[in-house]
Structure 1
Amino acid sequence: MNFTELHNQNKPLLIANVWDAASAIMAQQSGYQAIGTSSAAIAAMLGYEDGQAMSFDELLYIVTRIQSVSNLPLSVDVEAGFGSTAEEITTHLKRLAQLGVVGINLEDSRVVNGVRQLDDAAAFTHTLQKIRKALNEESYQLFLNIRIDTYLLNHELALQETLLRGRLYEAAGADGIFVPCLTLVKDIETLTKELNMPLNVMCMPGLPTFERLGEIGVSRISMGNFVHSALQSKLKDLMLLIQSQQTFAGVFIDESSR
């Protein structure tokens, strides 16, 4: 089953979001069907703020290390594409495809002077159209999962704007849409009924169960950077425990026996 077909199963595709070779190995050993990178987790690992503060070459290196230890289909979060033009973005996507990457997440917002803001829908659509055309001309088979940031940015007409953008992006060549911070069942149902593309939702407080998400038409569920953040919190707790107790005893305590 190829990556596109994984979005058409009888239950949603659960993507394990990874940030390095070790997390990719854990995902494969845990039986996931596919993995995706988390840009925020990779940025944090490298000491950057999220929002394309790292370079594309740094991302590319992490991707090569993940690819070296896993044979699972890999989708890469390229944020806003690490470029200001369709041509620059396409060049980056081709380099990923040449490594064996099967899909990407591309978002319709970007961080400007420290503030994330939505791109103009028509301008983003035009860019997406040019990217898809250029990839098709050279037979690059990348699953373009387009992130719509209306809910993330608390747009006052989030559902209507998401529908508008979703229809535009589908016509421009998107294979799927990703709507982070979307949790309301009625909105999810509307999007899955009104749009003809796989819908990807993300780990959030209040997100319905995976079974319920499948019932209302969700095709893909991802973790974002929340698993990485949870692990970092546990690491901090352990570091503080060692410092406060002045012993390594806490390192060797089995969590199940506490």
Structure 2
Amino acid sequence: MTQQPKLALITGGSRGLGRNAALALANKGSDVIVTYHSQQEQAETLVQEVRALGRKAAAIQLDAGLTASFDGFKDELLQVLRDTWQREQIDFLINNAGFGLYASIADTTEAQFDELMNVHVKGVFFLTQKLMPLLADQGAIINVSSGLTRFTIAGSAAYAAMKGAVEVLTKYMAKELGARGIRVNTIAPGAIATDFGGGRLRGSQEMQAFISGQTALGRTGEADDIGGVIASLCSSEMGWVNAQRVEASGGMFL
């Protein structure tokens, strides 16, 4: 009997780290479903790239900060699972959707804080809760955090605080889902030159030079440095790694 391919759901998968993780998982033999907020064209392009690798793929719209939409998203996900995969469960959930905010504590508005909270903490908590029945036993959850929970860069207080909450939440998820054999880990990327935060790092040679000088491996990170780590954390080879924060930063600020 042929073993069914593993199936991953990646939030915020139309570009950046989510896109790279989707391709890395596909290259390791997993099928993927990605969510997108507004970049439907990019998400559909990714779906075609994954299919070109011989894997099945789909894209579904999701506002990761709008918990009221999660029931509808779950229903749509179930329909896609039944239609495309003839199944009703996923194996891996990668909570990747998010956005950056660069503002001092003095300048951060309550509206900005609430938006960060809704996507990075409340959204992760309640989307995971909603999808627990659809997550197969012996599966895995990867929550995306940030190197900023270990080292500090002025202007990142609110964003980093949200990611700190995600890291604590990861441990509690691992504790409560352990009886089902579901592993839950955090990946904490360092500075990555993607569209994230409006492409702030990618567009600044001065910032790239600073980060490179503070990183043991001597350069800024790329999306290709992260997707493979996420895929590896989902693999059976990492089956005894649980409730851990895995930093992938090239050795920033050692």
Q: TM-score normalised to the size of structure 1?
A: 0.37
**Structure having the higher Rg:** 1
